[in-house]
Amino acid sequence: MTGDKITLDHGAGGGLSHELITGVVATTLGAVYVGQMEDSATVPVTTGRIAVTTDSFVVDPVFFGNGDIGKVAVAGTVNDLAVSGARPMYLTLAMIIEEGFPIADLVRILTSVRDTARAAGVSIVAGDTKVVHRGQADGIYLNTTGVGVFEPGTPDLNSRSLKPGDRVIVTGHLGDHSVHLLSLREGLGFEKRVLSDCAPLNHVVADVLAACGNGVHCVRDVTRGGLGTVLNELASASTVDLCVDAEALPVRHETKMAAEMLGVDVIYLANEGVLCVVADEASVSTAVEVLRGHPETAHTAVVGTVSAGGGHVRMRDANGRTSPVDLLYGAQLPRLC
């Protein structure tokens, strides 16, 4: 019998591993899992150009108010594919589980994986389960690696494509994911009022690209390192300057309070369901309209402008004064994704 807690034997590749994988993992994932239980999965691709991305997730806490590590993993990997312009198709799911982890919790996480994969329209094609001794992991770590395809005519989205005159769009409240998790972890008391924004955004990205075509120059998801890091990477890769308007940034009141309590800057807080979209002047209003039409990106705002320059990012405050937004050097907040 599988029992109610993960044991080292569950990861040993024998009959008990087999029971866990067929009886718990495959059963819970249901139709979303199309693996063939061979060493590799064989799957079709419709075009000659694919996107590949990988991410490990060490989220603390594993369960939070409106999601868990399984949702974060699938949404994060789907979004990494989507922002490249690819259509996410296949995900792999590898788990490193600490001995003693409750199987009921595993089922809960796998249920989130299933639901999020279903919402995004992707399949889980291959998996792996390793079990480590107590004290050699913190509950469970996931790795999801994704494969997407580029349909013919997909615009070439990348960090090097920003042009002077482009506008910078942000699709939701900055820092919600960070504030929700930190609030749970540090007891700040905001976790009921600020939920995680974690969501797969591939359908949103597809709609924006369909509406604006080559008018969209770049899409990035705002995760670890926050908008501040994304903007610095874009400015540097495209050798342009960016200026964002502090007043225009969509930020919740509670997030500002939490950031103050923690002594961190909102611009570096992580999201798991917010995009930074850079579009040319002619496409901005269409992009904003499409984005505001989706519930996940209803709070979309135009926040900044691209100008000729050497890769600097600045923020303009309510009085018109600008100050630099530097690339954060170290961690502000580890283990949020």
Contacts of a copy of itself in 134-173 (CB under 8 A): 135-138, 141, 143, 145-148, 150, 158-159
Nearer to a copy of itself by Cβ, of 67 and 127: the residue is 127
Q: Does 190 contact a copy of itself by CB under 8 A?
A: no
CA distance 298 to 307: 27
Contacts of a copy of itself in 195-224 (CB under 8 A): 220-221, 223-224
CA distance 128 to 13: 10
Do the beta carbons of residue 123 and residue 89 sit within 8 Å? yes
Nearer to a copy of itself by Cβ, of 223 and 255: the residue is 223
Q: Does 330 contact a copy of itself by CB under 8 A?
A: yes
Q: Does 125 contact a copy of itself by CB under 8 A?
A: yes
Q: Does 334 contact a copy of itself by CB under 8 A?
A: yes
Q: What is the DSSP string of 165-234?
A: T-EEEE-S-TTHHHHHHHHHHHT-S-TTTS-------HHHHHHHHHHHGGGEEEEEE--TTHHHHHHHHH
Choices 52-60, 106-114, 208-216, 280-288 (CB under 8 A): range interacting with a copy of itself? 52-60
Residue 67 CA: distances (Å) to CA of 59, 168, 238:
11, 29, 35
Q: Total residues at the site for a copy of itself (CB under 8 A)? A: 83
Q: Which of 5, 8, 248, 286 binds a copy of itself (CB under 8 A)?
A: 8
Nearer to a copy of itself by Cβ, of 219 and 254: the residue is 219
Contacts of a copy of itself in 232-271 (CB under 8 A): 268, 270
Do the beta carbons of residue 74 and residue 337 sit within 8 Å? no
CA distance 92 to 126: 5
Q: Does 231 contact a copy of itself by CB under 8 A?
A: no
State in angstroms the smallest separation of the CB of 6 from a copy of itself: 12
Choices 9-17, 100-108, 245-253, 303-311 (CB under 8 A): range interacting with a copy of itself? 9-17
Residue indicated by tokens 């997730």: 57
Q: Which of 48, 152, 153, 310 binds a copy of itself (CB under 8 A)?
A: 48
CA distance 75 to 69: 10
